[in-house]
Amino acid sequence: MTDTLKNRWADYTVLGLSVFLMFCLLFESYIELPNMVSWLGRWHPLVLHFPIVLLLIAIFLGLTGKAVPRPLLVVAVLSTLITAILGFFLGMDVPIKGDLLFWHQWLGGGTALIAALWYGLDAIGLEKTVYIRALQIVLIGLIGFTGHYGGMVTHGEEFLAFPTEEPEHKIPENPMVYKDVVFRILDDKCVSCHNPNKQKGELVMTSFDRLLQGGENGPILEAGKPGESEMIKRVHLPMDDEDHMPPEGKDPLQENEIAILEQWIALGASDTVRLDQLPRSEPLVGLIQELMVPEASERWAKIPKVADSTLQNLGSDYLTVSRVASNTEALNVVIFPPPEYRPKTITDLKRIANNIVALDLSRLPIGMAEIDVIATFANLENLELDKTPVTDAGVEKLASLEKLELLKIFDTKITDKSISTFKKLPNLKSLYLYKTGVSENAVASLKKERPDLLINDGIDKEMQAFFVATDSVISNSNP
């Protein structure tokens, strides 16, 4: 009896796993997994390639008339069953399954059960019959279709579609704000994870009604209250926060895209309003018009070339230099607060002064010498100086940045004296200056003279409470 058990352990294991898998598939609606078991499902993407390779090797040997080694078949079938079960566990994290996940799950389960049937027929001596060959051919098809649906679940329905010329996403001359602008942003950055076939957090963003419905934690936007809207809160979380949206590894929302979502929600999150129905003084009008101008790559066409080796030499643990896009010489520079700040970190950027279009110096104890360098960055469009010791005198030097479009200078010591400089920046579209010494009267004067300028001055206490971090400005050891 003991010898029989030793010799047939694989038979009993295959049978047990097959029965368990069938039970899971048939009674899914009655099953609730413990957290630990649910966590095991996350191993499915890591292990699924192993059984695919083993099964295909076994099938190739069988179809070419060669004997399939029993150890190979045992490992192939067992690993296929285990992978299918892990996939079921992973699928249980999605309460509402779309068609893609439904078919991927059942095709994967079918693949495992057909492989188990092959093993059973082989165990009773039918390894070279027409039945086995038929199962092997069916398995090839199942493996292909299961992988196809799995790819679409992970990467979208167009993942394996034939390449076609990318359609131009031009905004109409008088667009519907939601349909032509807001949804375009959501479709580019959010829908891949929040659609009927892949409902992360039970949230679907493919239609206006489903967007308003929200997800498992309730509504994600509060009409008229962007500061209380979960969608806006999450896009402003640090990139390494697990709740940041879009998640790490996905294309992040750009500053102007975030501003459009904020202003759209602030105006009531309507799906029927057109651009020409909004007052010209509304910041949302200017933000949408900005999207309607020629692509940024055309603006950057004359930026000089810079060698990759130069970028590598400038980079460090506290400084990143990256191309804004693979086909441009425009650069994005971020400097993180190091344990010991050295002004040379910024003065060294003179070597790429004409290539920098975005510069983040948040929390750095910069002085006037560094401001003098920044003022020479002729192509600079986005500048972040929040939580720095910058003063009105430093802001005055920034008047030379004619291409500057976004300036974050909140939580600084600037006063009403800087308003005159802001007025001189011809292309400035977004200005963040809450928690500064700038008075409400000065802000009102600036808004009156520059109605096209989006100003976040902290007067909206809801927005201020969320966007202002609690940490203080790094003290400048070299003023």
Output the pTM of the full model: 0.44
Cβ atoms of residues 59 and 113 within 8 Å? no
- Alpha carbons 221 and 290: distance in angstroms, whole number: 24
Q: What is the DSSP string of 55-113?
A: HHHHHHHHHTT----HHHHHHHHHHHHHHHHHHHHHHTT-SS--HHHHHHHHHHHHHHH
Digit-coded pLDDT (tens) for 272-296: 888 767 765 578 877 786 676 555 5
- Alpha carbons 88 and 86: distance in angstroms, whole number: 5
Question: What does the DSSP 8-state code read for residue 226?
Answer: G
**H or E element that contains 259:** helix 255-266
pLDDT confidence of residue 465: 44
Long-range contacts of 317-326 (CB under 8 A, 24+ apart): 318/345, 319/345, 321/352, 324/296, 324/300, 324/357, 324/358, 325/297
pLDDT confidence of residue 372: 94
Cβ atoms of residues 413 and 391 within 8 Å? yes
Indicate the SS3 state at residue 333.
Answer: strand
> What pairs with residue 198 in β-bridges?
195
Place of tokens 């191309």: 323
Cβ atoms of residues 181 and 260 within 8 Å? yes
Distance of CA 403 to the CA centre of its chain: 28
Indicate the SS3 state at residue 40.
Answer: helix
pLDDT confidence of residue 132: 84
Distance of CA 352 to the CA centre of its chain: 29
- Alpha carbons 373 and 357: distance in angstroms, whole number: 14
Cβ atoms of residues 62 and 121 within 8 Å? no
Digit-coded pLDDT (tens) for 187-218: 888 877 777 766 677 787 878 888 888 887 88
Share of the chain above pLDDT 90, in %: 21
Provide the pLDDT confidence category of residue 91 given band limits of 50, 70 and 90: confident
Q: How many residues belong to the chain?
A: 479
Fold of 300-467: 3.80.10
